Amino acid sequence: MNKLAFLGPIGSYTNEAAINYNKNLELINCNSIPQVIEKVRTGLADEGILPIENSIEGPVTSTIDLLIQEPKLKIKTETVIAIKHCLLIKEPTELENIQYVYSHPQALSQCRNFLSSNLPKAKLIASLSTSNAVEEMKKSKVTSAAIANHKCASIYNVQIIATKISDNENNYTRFIVLSNIDNKQTGKDKTSICFDFPHDSPGILYMVLEKFAKRHINLTKIESRPSKTNLGNYIFLIDLEGHKDDEIINECFNEIKPLISMFKIFGSYPIFNMSNISKN
C-alpha cells in the first residue's frame, strides 16, 4: 500500500484533506511541514500533502518557501476542502471562563472577529496544527479551548461549545500533493512555476507577463516571496492554465528564460473541480 505523509496529528484539516484525496492510502502522521517533505524525499512516504493557500488568509508561506528550496519533488495534484472551525472545550464551562485558546495561527486569524467579541481577555496560543491544539488544550491546567474541526470532538473526546466561528463562511484551503513525479496531460491542467531576475529594471516583470498574455495563457495566481538574499529582491510565483508539455506553454517558457536568472517548474497537474468539495 502506498504511503501518504500529512501534517497531523489525526483530526487536522490536512488529515481531512488526505482522506478526501485518497482514503485507501496508508497515512503517516508528521509534526511539521518540513517533516512531510523529508518523508517523501527519503522514500519513507510515496507522497506528501501540504496546505498551500487559504481563501481568507492567502498563501501558506512556509509551504511555498520549502517548495522554492526543494530540488526534486513535484506537485502531483491539488485538492480543496471547506474549513469549518468550531470552538472545543474539555469540560463544560462558559465562554467568559476561558483563559487560553489554542490553534494553528491561520485558524486564530480566521476567527479573529469571534475571538475579539466573545473571548476578548483570552490568551491566544499558536499550535503546530488544529488537532495538535486540541491535545494541548486537554493538557492545559487552566480553563482553555481549541479551534479545530468538528471531527476532533469525537476523536479526542471533547465538547463543542460553538460552531461556525469563522469570520467568513467562504473559507477554503487548497492543498498540494507532492511526489517524485507530476502528472501527464489531461487537457485541463495547471502548472506552477517560480522565477527571479538577475537585476531590477523598469518593466522587467511586464516583459515576462507579456509573453503569456500574447499567447492568451491564463494566469490564475501571481505572488512574490522575498529571495532571502538581499532586501528588495523577490522570487515570483505563478500558477497558469495548461501543462508544461503543451506546445504553447513550452514555447512561452523558452521565450522567458533569457529574461530571468532562476526558473523552476513545481509541477503540472489536473485542475481541482470545486464542485467536488464535500459540504458535510
Same domain, 93 and 221: no
d(CA 86, CA 104): 13
Residues 76 and 111 in one domain: no
Among the three residues 151, 181, 211, which one is the final residue of a domain in this structure?
Answer: 181
Residue 16 φ then ψ, to 5°: -60, -45
Residues 6+ apart with CB under 8 A from 70: 37, 41, 178
For residue 203, give the CATH number of its domain. 3.30.70.260
For residues 101 and 236, state if they share a domain.
no
Asked if residue 151 is part of any domain, the answer here is yes
Question: Residue 4: CB partners within 8 Å, gap ≥ 6?
Answer: 18, 21, 22, 25, 26, 27, 28, 45, 46, 47, 48, 49, 177
Task: Report if residue 276 sits inside a domain.
Answer: no
In a domain, 278, yes or no: no
Say yes or no: 152 and 222 in one domain: no
Cell digits of residue 80 = 480543496
Residue 275 lies in a domain: no
* Claim to verify: residue 90 and residue 76 sit in the same structural domain: no
Percent of the chain with pLDDT over 90: 82
- The answer to whether residue 277 sits within a structural domain is no
One-letter amino acid for residue 108 of the chain: L
Using alpha carbons only, how large is the chain's radius of gyration in Å?
21
pLDDT (mean) for 89-103: 95
The pLDDT of residue 271 is above 60? yes
Whether the predicted pLDDT of 213 surpasses 90? yes
Place of cell 481549541: 146
pLDDT band at 107 (very low <50, low <70, confident <90, very high): very high
Percent of the chain with pLDDT over 70: 99
C-alpha cell read off for 108: 486564530
* Residue 77, domain member (yes or no): yes
- 28 compared with 229, residue with greater pLDDT: 28
Q: Quick one: pLDDT at residue 268?
A: 97
**Mean pLDDT of the 104-129 span:** 94
**Is residue 61 included in any domain, yes or no?**
yes
Expressed as residue numbers, the domain containing 265 is 189-270
pLDDT higher than threshold 70 for residue 280: no
CATH number of residue 75's parent domain = 3.40.190.10
- Enter the C-alpha cell of residue 118: 466573545
| 74 lies in the same domain as 111 | no
Q: Average pLDDT over the chain, rounded to whole? A: 93
Alpha helices in the chain (DSSP H): 13-21, 33-41, 61-69, 105-110, 112-118, 130-139, 151-155, 204-213, 247-256
Confidence of residue 180 (pLDDT cuts 50, 70, 90): very high
Q: Does a structural domain hold residue 244?
A: yes
Give residue for cell 507532492: 178
Using CA atoms of 28, 31, 33, 39 in order, give the dihedral in degrees to the nearest 10.
-40
Domain termination site, one of 120, 150, 181: 181
Look at the chain and report how many structural domains it folds into.
3
d(CA 162, CA 81): 21
